[in-house]
Amino acid sequence: MGSSGVERTFDMDPSYIPYVISAGAIAITSFFVVQSMKRSESFSHSPLRTVPSMTYPLSQFRARTRPQELQQIQIVISPNTALYRFGLPNKDDILGLPIGQHISVMAEINGKPISRSYTPTSSDDDLGHFDLVIKSYSAGNVSKFIGELKIGDGIDVRGPKGAFTYTPNMCRAIGMLAGGTGITPMLQVGTDCRISARFECNHHECLSYLAFVIIRAVLKNPEDKTQLNLVFANVNEEDILLKKDLDGLAAKHDNFKVHYVLNNPPEGWTGGVGFVTKDIIDEHCPKPADGVKILLCGPPPMIAAMTGYTSELGFEKPRAISKLEDQVFKF
């Protein structure tokens, strides 16, 4: 990782777990979260677990390294995308971040404080750690900073941030339009009885991961009967993050369908080609009706186009700043 001298190759199995652990695998920086609360304040227990897990109120917290619990993990996602695991103080602790919400990672770069928002791809089912999948950019700031971290370095993390709250079965059907790395937010609905998400980031990658988080959570909850339809747009096939996971979920669950759209499709490609159009939305998403919601997640130009298309198809026009009751919600 970074200057650690280890070449990174990443992939992820459909359930994210188990991870392959070996002496020759990737060295992932391990962090633990330190409370900013006063000592007199106590942690609240997670209502979703019967094991003695601690949930952290994340009004503000600081993450620091815990070098005695370094983890060597090989997880292949894509050539420029890595999963970073941050260790919590105790092996039974949970992050306690509401599903769908995100956290901000702060860094001082060239003497200036900079923050970026990221969606943890792990959930409170994962004890003792939380995971961030981060795409590194050569000209990026925080993503490059994280990619160059060494064991023993520290970062500042704050959260939670989020305005969208999901309750299982609050909708009969949800259509999701995600672009680029906007997939993570939408993979997270369902495990908890409430899920929140609102993204205010400079990169749309945290939006992509939100999609994955919503989808995975809905499908993990046998009581949630929500029908999920995802249209996922990318440039190249290798850009489709978590494709193996999404395909596995679609094959296993009748209430989840995914349609991929590529600008540069490979030979023999059977999915969509070009950009997401009004016709694609009409064919692969639920029709406008009571109990139907559309979630838009992607870069600003895509959001603008999708807003127009959904309005033309009969959905209510979303507000500039979306509210939970909106039929079309823009992350």
- What are the residue numbers of the active site? 102, 118-119, 297
Instruction: For residue 205, give the 3-state DSSP assignment.
Output: helix
- Closest by CA to 210, choosing from 313, 96, 121, 87, is 121
d(CA 108, CA 25): 29
State the burial class of residue 310 (Cβ atoms within 10 Å of its Cβ: 0-12, 13-18, 19+).
buried
d(CA 267, CA 296): 29
208 is in an annotated binding site: no
d(CA 276, CA 162): 27
Task: State which H helix or E strand residue 144 sits in.
Answer: helix 142-147
135 is in an annotated binding site: yes
16 is in an annotated binding site: no
- Closest by CA to 49, choosing from 15, 89, 85, 94, is 94
184 is in an annotated binding site: yes
118 is in an annotated binding site: yes
Going across the sheet that includes 27-28, the strands are 20-21, 71-74, 27-28
Q: Side chain identity at 173, as an amino acid letter?
A: A
218 is in an annotated binding site: no
8 is in an annotated binding site: no
Annotated binding residues for FAD, written as ranges, equal 116, 118, 133, 135, 142-143, 184
Annotated binding residues, written as ranges, equal 116, 118, 133, 135, 142-143, 184
